[in-house]
Structure 1
Amino acid sequence: MDAIKALADPDLREAARDSLAARGSAAVGPLLEELLDETSPVRPWDIEFVLAKRIGPAAFDEVTTALAAATEEESRRRVSRVFTAFRAVGLYVNALSHPAAEVRSSAAYGIQNACSVAFGREPNPDVDYPVVIDALTPLLADPDPYVAQRAEWALTMLGPGVVERMRDVRVHGPANLRSRALTVLTAVGGEEALSPADRASVERLIRIKSLDDQAQPLDTCFTSWIAVASGDQQGIMELLGLYETRPATFALGLSVGLHDSHDGAEHGRVYVTPEVDGWTLVLGPWCNPGDPERAEDVLRVVTELSRRYGRAQAYYSGEYGDSGWLVAENGNVLRRFRASGQQDDAEYTLGEPLPEERAACVEEGITPVGDADADEEEWRELAAYLASHLAEQLGVSPLELGPHNTVRGVGAVALTPYAREHGRPNTGAYAI
C-alpha cells in the first residue's frame, strides 16, 4: 500500500511503478481498490498505467472481474478505462462472450482502439482482422442495445474487409443481424457496397415512408438553407442546377444534412423539402449566404429565384453564435447581413435593415439597428442568433418545422453543380 500511495508523489512515482510491477498479480487487487476509492490522492491514470502497461495481461482477468462487478457509473468508467488500455486484442475477442454487458461493450471498444483503420490509421500488423470481424459480428444482435451499438461502431472502423462479411450476413443471415449489417455495410462502403436487392429495398422503404411523411426540425447545428416561396420543387431544382435527385424523407434529409454540415462542409449535396406551407427549402452548406467560397453564387441564385418566384431567401444559423441571411424579392436584393464575429463581416452587408430586424431589437430592448444612436456591438450580439427567427418571420424556418406544418409532395436529395467539378460526395449510413 505504501508503494500505491507513493504513486501520488512525482518524486517517488517511478520507483513505485517499478515496485508494483515487480509484485505482478499480487498488486492488482490493492491497485483496483485504490482505483475505486474516489477520495484517493492517487490519480486514476497513474493506477491505469501500472495495471495496463507495467503489469499487463497478468492483470486482465482480475480487471475483467472488477468491471463485471462494478455497480456505480463512476466505478464502471474507471475500471473500463483500465480494461481498454491493455490493447490486448486476443483477450478482448475472448471477452466478447462474457456474461456481463459492460465487459462485452468495453471489449468491443478495446478492439476499436487497437484495430481501427479509420481516419487514415494503418492496420495493426499483429491483428488477424477476419477473426476479429467474425467475433464482433454476432454482437450486432446483442440483447443489450448499447453492446450492439458498440459492436456496430467498432465494425465500421475495421476497414474494407468488413464489407464481404456484412454482405454474407445480408444474404445468408442470421436474420437478427441483417438490419445492423446493412448499417455497417453502408457506413464502410457507402451505397456502392450495397447489392442491387438491398438498394431496391432501401428505395422501396423510402417510398413507403414518404406516403405519410411529416415535417420535422432540420437542425444540423451548422444549418444553411435557401427558402423559396413556391411549391415548384422541380422548377427550383432545375434553376439551381441540381441533378441526380432521389426521393428522401425528412429524416433522411436531416441525416444527410448532419453528415454534410459536420464533415468539412460538403458542398456537393443538398436536401430539398417538399412544399411546406407554400415554401420549398433547400438544405446544405452549399446554401450558406456568408460562406466566402459560396457567397457570390448564393447571391446570384437567390436573386434569380426571387425573379421567378417573387420571394427567395438564404440563411445560415451556427451552433456557436453566428448567423447570416440574404433576402430578395422580385429580382432585387433587399438585405444581406453576416454576424460571424469575423473582421470582414461588414463586407457582406447589402441593403438597409429589415423591419423584422428592427422589431427584433425592440423586442430585445435595444435601440433598433439603423438608428443613429444604435449600439453596433449590441446589435451584432443579437444578430448572431437571429437567422432562424427572421426566417420564421419572413416565411418558414427549417429549425421550427413539425406536424403543425402542411406538407405537399415528397422531398429529395440531390447533387449540386459543385459535385460536377469536385467529385461526388461520399455516401454512408443515414436514417430513413
Structure 2
Amino acid sequence: MPEHAYDEVLAALASAPDEESRRRLGRAFSSFGAVDRYVEALKHPSAPVREFAARGIESACSVAYGRKPDPAVDHDRVIDALIPLLADPDDGVAQWVRWVLSTLGPAVVDPLRRVRAQGPGRLRPAALSVLAAVDGEEALSAVDRAAVERLIRIKLLDDRAQPLDTCFTSWIAVPGGDQRAITEVLGLFEVRPATFALGRSVGVHDSHDGAEYGRVYVTPRVDGWTLVLGPWCNPVDPQRADDVLRIVEELSRRHGRAQAYCFGEQGGGSGWLVAENGNAVRRLSATGRNDDARFALGGLLPEERDAAAEEGVAVPGDARAGEEDDEEWADLAPYLAPDLAQRLGVSPFDLGPHTEVRGAGFVALTPHAGEHGRPATGAYAI
C-alpha cells in the first residue's frame, strides 16, 4: 500500500464502527512499515490506532527469531515511546506494548531497569514482567530478584492447589510426601520454592515449542501423592524413556509404587508407565508415532480395562474383541493418561480447592541441566 495513504487509513481506523472494520483497517495500517509515523501514532487518542501502531513497530523492529535490528531505525526513540504505554488505560494496548517490548531484544533492558529503579510507579509491575520475558531472571536486579523471592514465600503461606495442565503434560507420581527422597533419586539440584501457579507456568513454558528437559516442578503432597511435572518425566519420549524407566522403578523400590505419564491435549496422545516394588508392570505409548509399539511392556492393567468398559470398548485380547474393537481401543488409548492417573492415584488435571495439600512445592534443575546448561527463564505467573 502506498505510504501516502497512511493518513487516510489512520483516520478510517480511528473512526471504524465495528470490530471487523478495525481488524481489517488495523492490518493495513500496521503494514506500512513507517516506524517514525507509528511512534507519533502511539500518542493518538484512539486506542485501536495506538494498538496497531505498536503492532506495526513489532513487525518492523522485532529482533525475535534471529532477526537483525534495522540500522535505519532509532531503536532508543522507539523504546522510549513505547514504555509509557505499559500503563495504557486500554488493556489491549498495554498488553500489546508488553509483547512488542519483549521482542525488541537487549536494548530494552537498561530503560526498563531505570523504570524499576526510578519509576513512575504505575509502570513498574509491567516493566518487571517484560524484563523477565526478555532475558529471564538474569535481566532483573538483585533487588528485584529478592522481591520476587519474597513474594513467592508470602504466597506459599496460603497456596491452593490448581490444575497443572500444560501444552503437553508429562509427570511422575510417587505416593507419600518425601520430597527429599524423590529429589535424591531424581538427582535434582538448585531447589527453589514455587507456588502451584508458578509450577504450572514453568511447565507451560518448558513444554511449549519443544521439550525443555532441564527443569521440573515438584508439588507438595497432594491427596497423599507427590507429582513431578516437566518434559523430563515423559515415559515414552525416545530421548527419555530408558532413563524414566530406571527412575520410576527405583522410586517404586523405595516407595512401593511409582508411575509416569504424558498427555497432549491437542492430539499429542498418551503414555503411561506403572511400576511396583522395583519392577515395571506396564508401559504403553499411544501417541500415534510409528515407534509406539517398541515402548510396550506388560499386560493390560485392571484400570485400563475398567476405563475401556465404561466407554463400551473391548480391549485387545478379550475373547469377544474383533478387529473393530481393537480399532476402538486404539482410538480411546490416546486420551486415557489423565483418567488412569486418577484411578491409580492422583491426576494433575484434577487438582483444585478440594485437594488436600501438605507442605510446599518447588522448582529444581535436573541432571540434564547439569550436563547441557541451565534452561532459559522467562516471565512466569506466581
Normalising by structure 2, what TM-score? 0.98
1:347 counterpart residue number: 294
Secondary structure of the structure 1 residue equivalent to 2:104: coil
Q: CA RMSD in A?
A: 0.9
After TM superposition, give the deviation of residue 62 of structure 1 in Å: 1.3
Structure 2: how far apart are the matches of 1:170 and 1:104?
24
2:356 counterpart residue number: 406
Aligned pairs for 1:41-80 within 5 A: 52=1, 55-56=2-3, 58-80=4-26
Secondary structure of the structure 1 residue equivalent to 2:38: helix
**One-letter amino acid matched to 1:226:** I
Provide, for residues 260-302 of structure 1, a one-character-per-residue CA deviation record: whole Å limited to 9, x for no partner.
0013100000000011011000000000001000001000000
Indicate yes or no: 2:309 matched with 1:359.
no
Q: 2:366 aligns with which of 392, 416, 427?
A: 416
Indicate yes or no: 2:277 matched with 1:330.
yes
Q: Is the 8 A contact 1:353 1:370 kept in 2?
A: no
**One-letter amino acid matched to 2:331:** E
Q: 1:163 aligns with which of 97, 104, 109?
A: 109
Indicate yes or no: 2:69 matched with 1:123.
yes
Normalising by structure 1, what TM-score? 0.86
Unaligned runs of 5+ in 1: 1-51
Indicate yes or no: 2:84 matched with 1:138.
yes
1:292 counterpart residue number: 238
After TM superposition, give the deviation of residue 321 of structure 1 in Å: 4.6
Range 376-385 or range 279-288, more displaced: 376-385
Aligned pairs for 1:163-312 within 5 A: 163-312=109-258
Q: Is the 8 A contact 2:164 2:351 kept in 1?
A: yes
Structure 2: how far apart are the matches of 1:380 and 1:203?
46
Secondary structure of the structure 2 residue equivalent to 1:350: coil
Secondary structure of the structure 2 residue equivalent to 1:160: helix
Secondary structure of the structure 2 residue equivalent to 1:169: helix
Structure 2: how far apart are the matches of 1:290 and 1:181?
40
Q: 2:32 aligns with which of 79, 86, 90?
A: 86
Aligned pairs for 1:372-387 within 5 A: 372-374=319-321, 375-387=325-337
After TM superposition, give the deviation of residue 372 of structure 1 in Å: 3.8
Q: Is the 8 A contact 2:174 2:251 kept in 1?
A: yes
**One-letter amino acid matched to 1:150:** W
**One-letter amino acid matched to 1:360:** A
After TM superposition, give the deviation of residue 373 of structure 1 in Å: 4.2
1:31 counterpart residue number: none
Structure 1: how far apart are the matches of 2:281 and 2:291?
20
After TM superposition, what 4+ stretches of structure 1 lie above 4 angstroms from structure 2? none
Structure 2: how far apart are the matches of 1:382 and 1:372?
19
**One-letter amino acid matched to 1:176:** R
Secondary structure of the structure 2 residue equivalent to 1:392: helix
Structure 2: how far apart are the matches of 1:95 and 1:418?
47
**One-letter amino acid matched to 1:420:** G
Structure 2: how far apart are the matches of 1:243 and 1:337?
30
Q: Is the 8 A contact 1:87 1:111 kept in 2?
A: yes
**One-letter amino acid matched to 2:48:** E
**One-letter amino acid matched to 1:369:** P
Structure 2: how far apart are the matches of 1:199 and 1:328?
40
Indicate yes or no: 2:264 matched with 1:314.
no
Identity, % of aligned positions: 68
Which structure has more RCO (C-alpha within 8 Å, separation ≥ 6)? Answer: 2
**One-letter amino acid matched to 1:191:** E
Secondary structure of the structure 2 residue equivalent to 1:306: helix
Q: Is the 8 A contact 2:191 2:364 kept in 1?
A: yes
Q: Is the 8 A contact 1:357 1:369 kept in 2?
A: no
Structure 2: how far apart are the matches of 1:141 and 1:342?
47
**One-letter amino acid matched to 2:346:** V
Structure 1: how far apart are the matches of 2:311 and 2:301?
16
Structure 2: how far apart are the matches of 1:391 and 1:183?
35
After TM superposition, give the deviation of residue 190 of structure 1 in Å: 1.2
Larger radius of gyration: 1
